[in-house]
Chain A
């Protein structure tokens, strides 16, 4: 009963380093999302994917990249980490279809600190 699994849960990066946040879901959901949560700001959408091989930018994509080679996995890549990317990152998936928007199922979050 895994749902959405994110790794790592915590990470400290130095400015300029790169890393990948992993996200996997076992619910066969076509739709997947990456959000970041900053204190008092709610969640902002970074990237999303409506199916394998399809990705698109959200509200705050700068400094990030994603790929979706399989239905299950949706990794988020941070290139040249900056202090502004210090945040909590949430991956989510949804059984949204063309005619129905379903609820998002969230992972437990990944807390990233860039020093």
Chain B
């Protein structure tokens, strides 16, 4: 069965610190997609990244970077030089290649960045 685990419930850092959010997934499929979403205090869900299972290249977007490792079934998210505006709940999600587009979400990690 599919499952996404975000073991870190809450993380608190001071501004400018680097922080890594962990995501471990389980799936039997060889083709699947992984996502990260951000949910700021205003409540909407903001798409950050999508990766397919055949693309293990790490990705960097500004202060954000993602480390995808199939060998450990992990898709970790790092914020470099964190800022107060990064405070949010971050969700990792998994979709199998089932033509339905359904996402299985992790429980979320609440990140608090203090000034």
Please report A residues at the B interface, Cβ cutoff 8 Å: 31, 33, 35, 40-45, 48, 50, 56, 58, 88, 90, 92, 94, 96, 98, 101-106, 108-109
Contacts and interface: CB of A to CB of B under 8 A. Distances in A.
Nearest to B31: A101
Interface string B39-50: 000011101001
Given A40-B107, A42-B107, A42-B108, A109 B44 contact: yes
B91 interface: yes
A50 B100 contact: yes
A103 to B, nearest CB: 5
A101 B95 contact: yes
A43 B50 contact: no
B9 interface: yes
Contacts, number: 62
Contacts of B60: none
B107 A48 contact: no
B25 to A, nearest CB: 13
A45 B44 contact: no
A33 B102 contact: yes
Interface of B: 4, 9, 33, 35, 43-45, 47, 50, 52, 91, 95, 97, 99-108
A42 B44 contact: no
B107 A106 contact: no
A56 B98 CA distance: 13
Nearest to A92: B45
Given A101-B52, A109-B44, 7 more contacts: A40-B108, A48-B100, A50-B101, A96-B99, A98-B99, A104-B101, A108-B43
B45 A31 contact: no
Given A105-B47, A109-B44, A42 B102 contact: no
Contacts of A90: 45
Given A40-B107, A103-B35, A58 B43 contact: no
A94 B9 CA distance: 28
Given A103-B50, A108-B44, A58 B102 contact: yes
Nearest to A43: B105
